Amino acid sequence: LGPPLSPTPAVIAMEGLQALNPPSHPNWKKALGKLDHSGTLITDSYLWKQLILAGLMFQLYYECAFLALDAVSPVTHAIGNNLKRIVIVVTSVLIFGQKMSTQSMVGSSIAIGGVLLYGQVKEAYSGKAKSAASK
DSSP output for 41-105: BP-HHHHHHHHHHHHHHHHHHHHHHHHHHHHS-HHHHHHHHHHHHHHHHHHHHHHH-----HHHH
Question: Does pTM top 0.75 for this prediction?
Answer: no
Backbone φ, ψ for residue 46 (5° rounding): -65, -45
The tens place of each residue's pLDDT in the chain, 135 residues long, gives 566 667 778 888 888 887 788 888 888 999 999 999 899 999 999 999 999 999 899 889 888 888 888 888 887 888 888 788 888 888 888 898 878 889 988 988 888 888 788 878 887 887 676 666 666
User: What pLDDT does residue 48 have?
Assistant: 94
Say how far apart CA 100 and CA 48 lie, in whole Å.
33
Burial group, residue 9, by CB count within 10 angstroms (0-12, 13-18, 19+)? exposed
Residues 28-37: tens digit of each pLDDT: 999 999 999 8
